[in-house]
Amino acid sequence: MKLLNTNGSNTKIMKSQKGTEYKIASLSLMPNLQICPAQNLAQCKTDCLVSAGRGRMNSVSKSRQSKSDLWLNDQSQFLDLLEKEIKAFEKSCHKIGKAPCFRLNTISDIPFEKFGIPQLFTDCLFYDYTKLPARLGRTPENYKLMFSYSAAPGYQNQVKAALKTDVPISAVFRSGLPKSFLSRQVIDGDLSDLKNLYAGKVIVGLKLKGGKSIQNSKSPFIVDNPDCPAQRYPTCNPQNLATAKLGYILKEVA
């Protein structure tokens, strides 16, 4: 079994490493309550990225599940294999003059700092998104985190805790990105995760991607852009705004 994806096939990872000194390896598991413990509080399970992109492919889904099963059933073996693959990737990066970087929670939320992984590889950069504010400020210097927002009522204590830190907070917006959110400036987070890591007290704005079903989702994980005219004009079609980019006609209702 191979744990890490080292070919940069993930679109965001491909964008992030392009034109930089870094080459990024990623780990994708099949999330559940043990691997992603805040998924119920944040109410993000239904619209989870697990089914986005290549995640729809049966072979990809099976591979993620096999990795997750190994983590759940034999963490020692999983960590041994992960260490070997990180060492191999680090060596291959140095051969081509690249700096190794790792995203180990592509669609999971495991505190790898508790298992000593980033501490073993101090010359490597690690980064992740997390929904666990208790992790913020408690990772090694070479392990950077961004917090992931949701408007779910039961998740607001976590959001408040994250807002007290200097950590970037990511939020998924429908109908484009607003200028500010939660009293923080919004930046375009789709450009590069590596830039987002060092952006400070900002909102990392991520545009909602996907077809009609996801665009019409009522998940609290998705924020309706308050700056979008579609929020004020009920006859405006936000589906066109968000995905088709066809423009829109504003027609006020009497």
Kindly list the distances between the CA atom of residue 100 and the CA atoms of 10, 40, 96, 126, 156, in Å, as whole numbers in the listed order: 16, 33, 11, 9, 35
pLDDT for residue 138: 96
Tens digit of each residue's pLDDT, the chain (254 residues): 899 999 877 788 989 999 899 999 999 999 888 999 998 899 887 665 555 444 455 777 899 999 999 999 999 999 999 999 999 999 999 999 999 999 999 999 999 999 999 999 999 999 999 999 999 999 999 999 999 999 999 999 999 999 999 999 999 998 899 999 999 999 999 999 999 999 999 999 999 887 777 788 888 999 998 887 655 555 555 555 444 444 444 444 43
Instruction: List, in sequence order, every beta strand (DSSP E) within 112-159.
Output: 125-130, 143-148
Query: Rounded to two decimals, what is the model's pTM?
Result: 0.86
Domain boundary assignment for the chain: 4-244
Give the pLDDT confidence score for residue 253 in this predicted structure.
Answer: 40
The answer to whether the CB of 210 falls within 8 A of the CB of 244 is: no
Give the integer Cα–Cα distance in Å for 119 and 40. Answer: 30
**Are the C-beta atoms of 48 and 31 separated by less than 8 Å?**
yes
Q: Would you state the pLDDT for residue 230?
A: 59
pLDDT at 57: 57
Closest CA to 114 of 135, 131, 132: 135
* pLDDT at residue number 231: 58
| DSSP 8-class letter at 251 | -
